[in-house]
Structure 1
Amino acid sequence: MTTTLSQSGIPPRAAGRPRRQRIASSRNHGGWVEMAPGVWYLTIGFVNAYAVGDPAGRWVLVDTGLPGTHGFTRAALARRWGADARPSAIVLTHGHFDHAGSARALAEAWDVPVYAGPLELPYLTGRSDYPPRDPSMGGAIAQMSRLFPTSGIDLRGRVHALPDDGTVPEMQGWRWLHTPGHTSGHVSLFRAADGVLIAGDALATLDMDAWASHVTEHRELDRPAAPFTTDWQAARRSVGRLADLAPSVIGAGHGIPLAGAGLARDLRLLAATLPVPAHGRYVARPARADESGVVWVPPPVPDPLLPRLAVAGAAAAAVLLLARAARRR
């Protein structure tokens, strides 16, 4: 394992306890950080993109970040590897706006193909939107999700299905795995030679439900973003499939990548105990999708925040009316 993972020392742990290697925060580092040999990550807002290969030569960009951030990504590449740094392909773990939002802009600027899981193509070719978000379970990411889109995007002419044999174009030694749950066509990428896993949103490496975690970037294995996960049983099975790989390094869509002793054990524990929300639209019944996109979603569930917003709105209106009446006296 490369020693470039740890840039900031931590106090020694007690004898006999496994020591987790610490990968530097891209946000604090100000650019691309190497998480494993030939694998770098960049935090774009609150989501990660990955460069795999040799950015001074041939490499692949995995996920592209939020809409409108293509300039940030290209500038970060230029600072690290020069103005001519460009990938040979883009691979998407899935098509949610935070992972594929800049895919078209970057693919057209570089004139490169985009690859995604076969069952993700309906959402990347304008044929289907994603199931509606479900913020009813509460928590930080659920509340933020009220402002996030669930529409698909149109990458026709650029996007292609990943090969059926599990290989990944332009990523020698890597294979893709279908890891549904967060989306029906979600994929994760694995390099068996040294156990490096790019998990996308099959899981997270921070608690996305805690407001503080989004600021402190506290590192922990946790469930995927709850308001956009539309099949919780599939999500649990997918984490179990990743745990069977016993990875030594995990980079997810959200949070600082994790590495070192105890990681495989912790992932097995997450697979066994994946915390499903206590309530929510997709908890009892998942959305259903096929190769054409979404075919059915369960009905909405009561959102506890809406009555509070109604009360707050009524109170604000009353205050405005009283103030207006007072000015007329």
Structure 2
Amino acid sequence: MDASSDTTPTTTTAAPAPAAPGRMAPGIWHVPFPVGHVYLVRLSDGGFAAVDTGVPGSAPAVLDALAAIGGRPDALRQIVITHFHIDHMGSAADLVAATGARVLAGAADAPYIRGTATEPTPLLTAKERALHEQALAGLAAAGTPPLRHVRVDTELHDGDTLDGWPEGTRVLHVPGHTPGSIVLHLPAAGVMFTGDTMGLGPDGRLVLGPFNVDRDEAIASFRRLAALPGVDTLCVSHGEPLRTGAARALQEAAPETDWL
């Protein structure tokens, strides 16, 4: 989604998360939101990282989830933003103010997160255009606060590894949804944080994320991720996360036919 829209097919509200964090894997928790999930990861020093931050106004719910798994606000050391859209970076500035966490993001998206460049416009299919309008209306109806941009402390590139994470967490640059979209891959755990490169549709099928700046590039990025060995758990941002069976879902996906 762009900075005023959403990629969720079935959601029309941006209300804070109503549920407690759920355990995805050892040291990884899912914080469910109606629009744009957040994930918390325990770091090797006992602190935590957040992967994405939800829409503006979500910071109190993220901090409540952190407290529920034993973390004080100052235990949030890192915020990794998978891309610049409002449901991913929306509460980053508030969380930084509350915790002092460092912000990490893909290098090509960093100017949009900082607010120093104009965001690229997604190229929408007819089906996506209707969904886009629905999502905009949902955010407005929910009273979503204005977006605040935030500094990026560390710009990430393809092949980087994240300091302080419990294993060799790899950064993969997956352009297409946005120029600087990234995913995080934990090979030993078989876990991948997908951002909006893919999501789980209402029928339970893994689909290409809509609202891409370059659809062909997004499909190529999807196919690159589908070819990774040993992925069993997908921490998606929209739809239910896949705790098991991700490899089969990736093999059966047909991103070339989605949203047409």
CA distance in 1: counterparts of 2:20 and 2:74, whole angstroms: 14
CA shift at 1:126, angstroms? 1.5
Aligned partner of 1:116 among 80, 102, 105: 105
CA distance in 1: counterparts of 2:24 and 2:90, whole angstroms: 24
**Unmatched runs of 5 consecutive residues or more in structure 2:** 1-16, 141-145
Structure 1 residues 32 and 64 mapped into 2: Cα distance closer, same or farther (>3 Å)?
same
Aligned partner of 2:170 among 151, 175, 186: 175
Aligned partner of 1:159 in structure 2 is 153
Answer whether contact 1:94 1:186 (CA < 8 A) is retained: yes
Worse-matched range after superposition: 37-46 or 132-141 = 132-141
Structure 1 residues 153 and 83 mapped into 2: Cα distance closer, same or farther (>3 Å)?
closer
Worse-matched range after superposition: 129-138 or 118-127 = 129-138
**Unmatched runs of 5 consecutive residues or more in structure 1:** 1-26, 208-212, 279-329
Normalising by structure 1, we get a TM-score of 0.64
CA shift at 1:163, angstroms? 5.5
Aligned partner of 2:228 in structure 1 is 245
Larger Rg: 1
**Which one has more relative contact order, counting CA pairs under 8 Å at least 6 apart?**
2
Root-mean-square deviation over aligned CA pairs: 2.8
Indicate the SS of the match to 1:138. Answer: helix
Matched, 1:200 2:195: yes
Normalising by structure 2, we get a TM-score of 0.80
Structure 1 residues 108 and 124 mapped into 2: Cα distance closer, same or farther (>3 Å)?
same
Letter in 2 for 1:249: T
1:185-236 alpha-carbon deviations (Å, 9 max, x no partner)? 000000010211110101001x2xxxxx3xxxx5321110x2x211111111
Letter in 1 for 2:133: Q
Percent identity (aligned): 31
Matched, 1:104 2:93: yes
Letter in 2 for 1:222: V
Letter in 2 for 1:142: H
Matched, 1:90 2:79: yes
Aligned partner of 2:240 in structure 1 is 256
Structure 1 residues 55 and 255 mapped into 2: Cα distance closer, same or farther (>3 Å)?
farther
Aligned residues: 236
CA distance in 1: counterparts of 2:169 and 2:98, whole angstroms: 26
CA distance in 2: counterparts of 1:39 and 1:129, whole angstroms: 34
CA distance in 2: counterparts of 1:204 and 1:60, whole angstroms: 21
Answer whether contact 1:50 1:63 (CA < 8 A) is retained: yes
